[in-house]
Amino acid sequence: MKKQGTPVDASSLIYLAKASGLAAANACVGPLLVPPAVWREVVQAGEARGDPETHRVANAESSGWVSRVVLDGRQRRAAQALMTEFKLGAGESEVLALGHDRQLVIIDEFRGTRIAQLLGIVVASTLMIPLLCADRRVLDAAQSLKLLHDIARYAGAGASEIDRVGQRIKECFQ
């Protein structure tokens, strides 16, 4: 049986953890599904580096906001094929392999996003999470805008992109 939730890549998971947005993301798109390569990159390697967000991710797993997933044989083969054919990293490849039968994946990596679109997989960047939360009334306007700005700070988003998403958040409440 397929686990409910939304696959997420390492960068997105890190930005959401740093911005204290894991609970909001879970309320909006269900548990964030973390494949093995993403877990290794974010949590295991992060712990070795002393990254503070690794504790937030581990706590989010305990809360059910983040869920580690194991790829089945078909998904592992698909991830390997994506790594080979498109020269993607292991994390992005595993997220896309999980994304084939999902409504959405969350990826911030440029090549991963383009390949997902090529494969017909719907992609949201981490900056879209506050907009989805506003649209679904998970957060109010002020909370959504704060989360947007917090994520943008860690993601290094440009002012025009922040303004565009911020305007769309405001439109949700008009």
pLDDT at 144 > cutoff 90: yes
At the topology level of CATH, where does 6-124 sit? Rossmann fold (3.40.50)
pLDDT at 24 > cutoff 90: yes
What is the pLDDT at residue 11?
95
Specify whether the CB–CB gap between 89 and 37 falls below 8 A.
yes
Domain assignments of the chain as residue spans, ordered by start: 6-124, 128-172
Which among 25, 32, 109 has a CA at the least distance from the CA of 93? 109
Exposure b/e, 25-34, CB count within 10 A at least 16 = b: bbebbbbbbb
pLDDT at 82 > cutoff 70: yes
pLDDT at 131 > cutoff 90: yes
What lies within 8 Å, CB to CB, of 7 at 6+ separation is 32, 33, 34, 35, 69, 94, 95, 96, 98, 99, 102, 105, 106
pLDDT at 102 > cutoff 90: no
What is the pLDDT at residue 147?
98
pLDDT at 2 > cutoff 80: no
Percent of the chain's residues with pLDDT above 90 = 92
Instruction: Determine the average pLDDT of the residues in 79-97.
Output: 96
What is the pLDDT at residue 100?
85
117: enclosing H helix or E strand = helix 110-118
What lies within 8 Å, CB to CB, of 42 at 6+ separation is 10, 13, 14, 17, 34, 53, 54, 57
What is the pLDDT at residue 5?
95
Calculate the average pLDDT of the chain.
95
What lies within 8 Å, CB to CB, of 41 at 6+ separation is 10, 91
Q: Is the pTM of this model over 0.85?
A: yes
